[in-house]
Amino acid sequence: MKKIEAIIKPFKLEEVKDALHDVGVEGMTVSEVKGFGRQKGHTEIYRGSEYTVDFLPKIKLELVLADSKVQEAVGAIIKAAKTGKIGDGKIFISPIEEAIRIRTEEKGEQAV
Amino acid sequence: MKKIEAIIKPFKLEEVKDALHDVGVEGMTVSEVKGFGRQKGHTEIYRGSEYTVDFLPKIKLELVLADSKVQEAVGAIIKAAKTGKIGDGKIFISPIEEAIRIRTEEKGEQAV
Amino acid sequence: MKKIEAIIKPFKLEEVKDALHDVGVEGMTVSEVKGFGRQKGHTEIYRGSEYTVDFLPKIKLELVLADSKVQEAVGAIIKAAKTGKIGDGKIFISPIEEAIRIRTEEKGEQAV
Amino acid sequence: MKKLFLSLLIAVVGFSGLVSRAAEAPPAKADPTIDQRVADLEAYVNNVARGADAADAKVKSNVSGAGPGHNAFQMVCAALVLFMTLPGLFLFYGGLVRKKNVLSVVAQCFGLAGMVTIMWWAFGYSFVFGDGSSPWIGSFSKFAFLAGVDSNPNTNYSYWVSQNVFSMYQLMFAIITPALIVGAIAERMKFSAVLAFVALWMVVVYFPLAHAVWGIDGAMNGVWNAKASIKAIDFAGGTVVHMSSGWSALVLCLILGPRLGFGKTNMAPHGMLMCAIGTGMLWVGWYGFNAGSAVAADGVAANAFTTTTIAAAVASFVWPMVEWLVKGKPSILGFCSGAVAGLVVITPACGFVNMTGAVIIGVLAGIVPFLACAYLKPLLKYDDALDTFGVHAVGGTLGALVTGFLATADVNSNLTTNLKDILGKTLWIEQLKAMGITIVLSVVATAVIAYIVKAVIGLRPTEEGETIGLDLTDHGEEGYHG
Amino acid sequence: MKKLFLSLLIAVVGFSGLVSRAAEAPPAKADPTIDQRVADLEAYVNNVARGADAADAKVKSNVSGAGPGHNAFQMVCAALVLFMTLPGLFLFYGGLVRKKNVLSVVAQCFGLAGMVTIMWWAFGYSFVFGDGSSPWIGSFSKFAFLAGVDSNPNTNYSYWVSQNVFSMYQLMFAIITPALIVGAIAERMKFSAVLAFVALWMVVVYFPLAHAVWGIDGAMNGVWNAKASIKAIDFAGGTVVHMSSGWSALVLCLILGPRLGFGKTNMAPHGMLMCAIGTGMLWVGWYGFNAGSAVAADGVAANAFTTTTIAAAVASFVWPMVEWLVKGKPSILGFCSGAVAGLVVITPACGFVNMTGAVIIGVLAGIVPFLACAYLKPLLKYDDALDTFGVHAVGGTLGALVTGFLATADVNSNLTTNLKDILGKTLWIEQLKAMGITIVLSVVATAVIAYIVKAVIGLRPTEEGETIGLDLTDHGEEGYHG
Amino acid sequence: MKKLFLSLLIAVVGFSGLVSRAAEAPPAKADPTIDQRVADLEAYVNNVARGADAADAKVKSNVSGAGPGHNAFQMVCAALVLFMTLPGLFLFYGGLVRKKNVLSVVAQCFGLAGMVTIMWWAFGYSFVFGDGSSPWIGSFSKFAFLAGVDSNPNTNYSYWVSQNVFSMYQLMFAIITPALIVGAIAERMKFSAVLAFVALWMVVVYFPLAHAVWGIDGAMNGVWNAKASIKAIDFAGGTVVHMSSGWSALVLCLILGPRLGFGKTNMAPHGMLMCAIGTGMLWVGWYGFNAGSAVAADGVAANAFTTTTIAAAVASFVWPMVEWLVKGKPSILGFCSGAVAGLVVITPACGFVNMTGAVIIGVLAGIVPFLACAYLKPLLKYDDALDTFGVHAVGGTLGALVTGFLATADVNSNLTTNLKDILGKTLWIEQLKAMGITIVLSVVATAVIAYIVKAVIGLRPTEEGETIGLDLTDHGEEGYHG
Ligand SMILES: Nc1ncnc2c1ncn2[C@@H]1O[C@H](COP(=O)(O)OP(=O)(O)O)[C@@H](O)[C@H]1O
Ligand SMILES: Nc1ncnc2c1ncn2[C@@H]1O[C@H](COP(=O)(O)OP(=O)(O)O)[C@@H](O)[C@H]1O
Ligand SMILES: Nc1ncnc2c1ncn2[C@@H]1O[C@H](COP(=O)(O)OP(=O)(O)O)[C@@H](O)[C@H]1O
């Protein structure tokens, strides 16, 4: 099994979720993160004080799935999340050794 | 070393923490996430507008520990987090190559 | 490629970010997490009710980078994040099999 | 549930047309002399009766309606008391619950405001201020559907404030009293059960009690009713508002049982800032509650305004200082609790005591309810979620009692009308009697009503519903998004 | 944009000195007799004219200035109406948008408050309350730059309230009316475009309409102007405030188009608690709006206070009960919407109807606007983001109409001055005429102005700007940090 | 620390009984004639003295107590000024700090409210308004423990407002003034140090200054004291409130040093929405502050109400417009700052200037404090966390000066009593003198007190405590949970 982690722009979440759903991904975990990268943040001025906010709001998607499904899922994410503008985000793939469904104690690919 | 990531129901956090503590896990990192899976979300209606919230609040636990302790920790999590109802969550196990304690610069299993 | 995950004290974020920047790390993803470890939390008393908050606010940094850069990045993090007091946090290193930049679909080390 | 309320509503709207409004033809009266006219104007400034207000008056008054200064004040006070519930309690109570239940607190306060208004219009005002029926309950037919309650004063209650304004002012009391109960049962009572419980409770507890204490012919109206069987005094609601809600809250929270996870889960307030903001609003609104209870912008109101300020401020300081001493830190909840406790304890006393009395009350209010919340509650392990009992029952009881000792005719000459003989002597015994009746009525009635509601529609949500939170379970919404 | 406003500002400040203030020498008058002096004091209590106020008066008055009770009330009412916008609407509207747009709502309300005040000072008050020019627009020269508007009453509008206070009170109406429009176009209109649109809209829609309805010689001022061509009545702003803003809001939101992602993205309110708090503030502030429209603390104000309470409370209960029946759950937004709808519908009626009328209005207000928001909007698919049309246009229209049927001289004898013949008969036809004119003026003018602003500076932010949120895009700040 | 306050408290309560209250037997006076009775009633409407108020009066008055319209107004104004601190400042200041310090701001404001009330009761009111001792400090024995301060007017300060209400009204000023200082030292001063500093500061700075400016025999009371050595004017507190707090704030924040990480860490406001809500509340409450300073609901109050509205609205618009021009975007903090600056600058002037004056003040208030905050502060690098100096000191100083130029007897005839000769001429020089004294007193006293407190208990928390945040460190609570 693999874990796909995708960092995307927040307003793309719905589209990515739908795209993943279409290729049969049934579960995922999402968190709000702040990203730092090439995309530049903004400056806020409060009376005389300037603050540069270079961490931008991003969404991190995590999905664990069978090796066979990785390709398709990555394709779906790219398609849905790409705007072509800087800051679209990244996808990282890493190995998962075991997965367990707490409710049933099923293991491995059945669990995800 | 391994990393255990567990996605659980929020109100189970205290119990899971205690259960892990009982099997000797002394450190962990917790974050608030949103989960999408078989468990269905709810619909909110604001005057004429309906919004389906299919991301449900979940808690993600991350703990890095020696290979030898994984089995026990997983058992503890399952025991404490299981309600038997859909949406109980998942456990994922992945490899960790190195761990470092920032304060002391200790490495490896001593660091966790 | 490797993923470095670092759990640090929140007020150290700016310094760590700058230190990483200095060693050429150009991207990272940050999230707010709660940590449980040797560092003790605090007790809040609301009229007659006491609540112990043992989860402390921490920041989790995630950065994916080429194997060759790992050593330097870890050094930078330790240097900037260390206060020498309990609770300074941890660094975990794990393998990443693939990285993709969504905008360009570049892969591997070019993507990060 | 829903059907019940809807049919009630429809029935009541229907009936409102049927009540007869017999107009009594007033006997012809003479025009006032210039002296009488000036006297009437002086009466306005001094907030006393016009010549024409006497039962046997032979002259008319050229200023027979309400007077602007008093009426303006009363309208503002009514608005201030509403402000205490909406949004005062939204914030004060809403800030103290967990995030997932914040809207349920809002719904309970808001729902009670609407339901009680409809009851008040239909029969509540009659039951409380309709005179001529009984010392324990007002006359329904007198003001049913607020018939005859217009912009002229009802001189039983005020010479210079419009009766419709007076009725709205008193409505705000009828709204906030049951809303205080919400504090004890927060986070675990079904919305429908709250509505049903309060609907019955108003009829059985609040209306009779308010009539007995404030109705012109009420059994416990020591100030104005020469024939009162218990000559107790309660300026702005120590018994009627705080004791009734506080003691009922205790019983209801015992019958309801503690919240799931009580004592184990972290149930810390989700928004102490909100709570503090709400406290500020309660304090400001309480001026309407206390000074407004003079039903005139006169010297008694001025005194009530002053004692309220002092008691609240002193208690808001003493409570956290005691905490600092005992627990090591002065908490924001301590400041908030102290302020509210000070306001509660001064409530029955504010128009009867002087500034020294107010300081004493402030100090007591900063200590006694603190002890109840910090030591009694953990000892007895009842789950009075937001301390309605600890603050309102304990504070109200304390206030009702000390009023008996500290009341002085120096600041309120009305105390000499019917109470000259017992003032400063045995008044506190009358107070004890009124307190006893209030406690017994509240406790017994609450128990009976709670078991009835439990039997008919149930009190608590499902375990899952309570775990998810009442906001989603009962209202399908969340307090905060994104 | 910026330059435009700045030069406007400078120009206007400059001109303010130039307007001539010709002092008319008053003819010498006799000192009042003791009888007249007492009568004048009685006039104060009764809120009627002094002897000296008559056009042909031969005596002076010893109390020719404002009267304390009335003036105090009017100042408080003005503050309460300001409270509705700042911070009432910040919270009510701010809570209903998404997190990323909350400050833009604040900026729009706040910016309009400042801009409209400057316009009001320079010419707005003149255009509305300057008499002697036309039934459709006031006389600019009369009160330009508020010259001559001092602490003495303008007896065209009130015998006992200072004209400067009256002018500030009315300013608060001129501020909140365009701020209501913000609800429909929230989350997607450039800040500069909002300012430009409203600047023009005030001149073309609000000032003429307010003059016609409330100006002493206004074309639709049925109560006071015997020569009004349309004998309509509007106590506190059903046509002037709610219909004008509501119908304009609909047109503007249609021209603007829906928010990006409308119908697909989750646009749930980010802070329902905030919205509920704002609702409480609106309700409390609305007493200033409605009771204050009597421009005196008299019996009419008392009646308005009472009917406002009842209608708001009933509607706040009926709306969520209907939801409970139809959608399965009573929502907090339902309580809030019901309260606001009740307040909107009673607005034109509050000083003219009795308590039964208020109950009827409360029930209607809980149902009709609900149907508009819950069924009409999804059907027609316009993006009235926060339901300005559904609540204010529908509610205001409903209110204006039922006022025609329910108004009664029993609670307001002013209705007999010029309307004796049509009251209870054909008054509703006059109401229909006024409503028609209001709708036509609002719709047409809004369309024209919107297209002009669109052509000159554009209405919407860039797609990216809208996606990021107006808080960062237009103001460089975020509503919440950390 | 704790012990100190507790023993103080106990001591003070104990002493309060000891102060002698010698009742002076009034010489027998004649009953008023009908003419005098009417004249007294007219005096009520016109807010002037009764016949009986003259020192050598031979008649009584039938209306010798407070008058309803004025008293009602004053009570409402007192409540409004309290509203500015609780919860106004909670929100305005609380929103501007970082999340981890929000409750500490609440605690500071709340704690000062309680402590200052106790001081005020024991000796503060005496030190300010007790006459007959010195032009620079009031007589302690006159009103110690508020003895003799009852519902009758003190005609030194008002003919028709109860003295107890007046004392509470003035208490609210004594509460908010030190609370303003909190803005400069936010996020880094120990709670105990704040209490200790303010306790001393009130005695050394506020009470003397308030007596000198507002005491009937005060050294700088140009309006009422014919013997004032400096004939300055300050309607509602330009010197007493804003300059004193603002200049002290600067000195205290310099002695305290900047926050840890100042200039490096992001210290952006954690809740701009909260800040905006607080601004709205401040504005509304400020009507009590400014109009209420007439201590009557008369024409002067009406004028103050009007000029306050205009100055606040204009400045709230000008500040962000200047920002738009200079920084590219109009910020919400700009709107808020502008409004508050407008209110600050008009404060000393509101009852003395006309509408044109108000517009000029509004424009200046939108520009000058903006320059101080946006350019002076970064230049000089002092850490005035929430700009108490930039807004209150700069604004108050500006206001005190321009009042000298713009004051006109047209709107306030009291200016002719003692100031006829210098009004419109050299009044500004008197203003300069008063300003100089205020600055010197504030700066020197603050430095001395701050070093004393630093030496005795220390000013700052530990580094770790400051890093964690004062909410947890000082109060053991967090502002938001979950
Ligand atoms: N090396 C990295 N490790 C982890 N996250 C990264 C890394 N580089 C970028 N990111 C994440 O991806 C987001 C987008 O990256 P950015 O460089 O701004 O644009 P792009 O993805 O178009 O190259 C960042 O905001 C950050 O969250
Ligand atoms: N493939 C997956 N990858 C990552 N997280 C998942 C995956 N499937 C489910 N989850 C997480 O587990 C949670 C529970 O899954 P769900 O399918 O609802 O119920 P159950 O765990 O009982 O099968 C989800 O809310 C989501 O957070
Ligand atoms: N085994 C672990 N797995 C994951 N996170 C851990 C683990 N142990 C500690 N942490 C994280 O590191 C933080 C610091 O750990 P702690 O034991 O308090 O101090 P120190 O890092 O100085 O040993 C914790 O708050 C937690 O977030």
Interface contact flag, E164 F356, Cβ < 8 Å: no
Task: Provide the pLDDT confidence category of residue D22 given band limits of 50, 70 and 90.
Answer: very low
Task: Please report which confidence band the pLDDT of residue D19 belongs to, taking 50, 70 and 90 as the band edges.
Answer: very low
Assign A33 to helix, strand or coil. Answer: strand
Average pLDDT over residues D89-113: 98
Shortest CB distance from C11 goes to which of F467, F476, F477?
Answer: F467
The residue whose CA is least distant from atom 19 of ligand 1 is A87
pLDDT bucket at E28, cuts 50 / 70 / 90: confident
Using an 8 Å CB-CB cutoff, list chain E residues near B47.
333, 337, 370, 373-374, 377, 387, 390
pLDDT of residue F482: 78
The residues pairing with A33 across neighbouring beta strands, listed in sequence order, are A58
pLDDT of residue E196: 98
What would the DSSP string read from start to end of E20-68? --PPPPPPP-BPPPHHHHHHHHHHHHHT---GGGSTT--B--TT-S--H
> Does the pLDDT of residue E276 top 70, yes or no?
yes
pLDDT tens digits for range D297-351: 999 999 999 999 999 999 999 999 999 999 999 999 999 999 999 999 999 999 9
pLDDT digits (tens, 9 = 90+) for E244-256: 999 999 999 999 9
Residue among C8, C15, C29 with most chain A CBs within 10 A, to mutate: C29
**Chain F residue with the nearest C-alpha to that of A48:** F374
From the list E110, E151, E474, which residue is nearest F302 (CB)?
Answer: E151
CB contacts, 8 Å: F478 with chain C: 44
Pocket lined around ligand 3, Cβ cut-off 6 Å: B 27-29, 62-65, 101, 103, 112; C 7, 35-39, 56, 58, 86-90
Kindly list the distances between the CA atom of residue E295 and the CA atoms of D232, D428, E153, in Å, as whole numbers in the listed order: 41, 46, 11
Q: Which residues of A touch F268 (CB under 8 A)?
A: 44, 46, 49, 51, 53
Cα angle F277-F279-F283, degrees, rounded to a multiple of 5: 120
User: Of residues E146 and B40, which shows the higher confidence score?
Assistant: E146
Q: How many CB atoms lie within 10 A of CB F338?
A: 33
pLDDT in tens, E404-425: 999 999 999 999 999 999 999 9
Q: ipTM value of the model?
A: 0.96
Kindly report the protein residue whose alpha carbon is nearest to atom 24 of ligand 3: C35
Q: Measured between beta carbons, which residues in chain B are less than 8 angstroms from residue E269?
A: 46
Closest partner residue to B46 among E269, E370, E376, by Cβ? E269
Q: Strand runs (DSSP E) across D254-348, as ranges?
A: none
Residue nearest (by alpha carbon) to ligand 2 atom 21: B89
Q: How confident is the model at residue D7 (pLDDT cuts 50, 70, 90)?
A: low
- Confirm or reject: Cβ of B41 under 6 Å from ligand 2: no
pLDDT score, position E27 = 63
- pLDDT of residue E19 exceeding 50, the answer is no
Question: For residue B105, which ligand has an atom nearest its CA?
Answer: 3
In tens, the pLDDT along D435-481 reads 999 999 999 999 999 999 999 999 999 999 999 999 999 999 999 99
Joined together, the tokens standing for residue F152 give 């009758």
In 3D, which of D397, D390, F474, B30 has the Cα closest to residue C49?
D390
Question: How many whole angstroms from A4 Cα to the centroid of ligand 2?
Answer: 14
pLDDT at residue B44 is higher than 80: yes
The type of residue at D355 is M
* Residue-averaged pLDDT of chain F: 95
Question: Token pair of E430, please?
Answer: 């006059």
> Which ligand 2 atom is the nearest neighbour of the CA of B33?
27
**What are the DSSP calls for F438-463, one per residue?**
HHHHHHHHHHHHHHHHHHHT-SS--H
User: Residue F105's pLDDT is what?
Assistant: 98
pLDDT beneath 50, residues of chain F: 1-2, 4-6, 8-9, 12-13, 15-23
Compute the distance between CA of residue E299 and CA of residue D152 in angstroms, rounded to an integer: 7
Q: Residue F86, Cα to own-chain centre: how many angstroms? A: 14
Domains of chain A are: 2-111 (3.30.70.120)
Residues with Cβ within 8 Å of residue D42, at least 6 apart in sequence: F37, F41, F62, F63
Within 8 A of A37 by CB-CB distance, chain C residues are 26-28
Q: What is the pLDDT of residues D251-300, one digit of tens each?
A: 999 999 999 999 989 999 999 999 999 999 999 999 999 999 999 999 99
- pTM, two decimals, is 0.96
Q: With contact defined as beta carbons under 8 Å apart, do F304 and F412 qualify? A: no
The Cα-based distances of A33 to A6, B55, C31, C62 in angstroms read 11, 16, 5, 10
Ligand nearest to the CA of C112: 1
CA contacts within 13 A on the Cβ side of E154: 21
B37 has pLDDT over 50: yes
Within 8 A by CB and 6+ apart from C37, the residues are B26, B27, B28, C87
pLDDT tens for each residue of D60-72: 999 999 999 999 9
Residue F50: the pLDDT is 97
- CA F63 to chain CA centroid, Å, is 32
Per-residue H/E/C for chain C: CEEEEEEECHHHHHHHHHHHHHCCCCCEEEEEEEEECCCCCEEEEECCEEEEECCEEEEEEEEEECHHHHHHHHHHHHHHHCCCCCCCCEEEEEECCEEEECCCCCEHHHHC
Contact B27 C35 (CB under 8 A): yes
Q: What is the mean predicted confidence (pLDDT) over C2-6?
A: 98
Q: How many CB atoms lie within 10 A of CB F20?
A: 7
Asked whether B6 lines ligand 2 (CB < 6 A), one says: no
Smallest CA separation from ligand 3 atom 25, residue: C35
* Local structure of residue D401 (DSSP, 8 states): H
Nearest ligand, measured from the Cα of A34: 1
Tokens 């500093």 belong to F197
| Model pLDDT, residue F26 | 57
> Does ligand 2 have an atom closer than 6 angstroms to the CB of B12?
no
Contact partners of C by the rule of 3+ C-beta pairs under 8 A? A, B, D, F
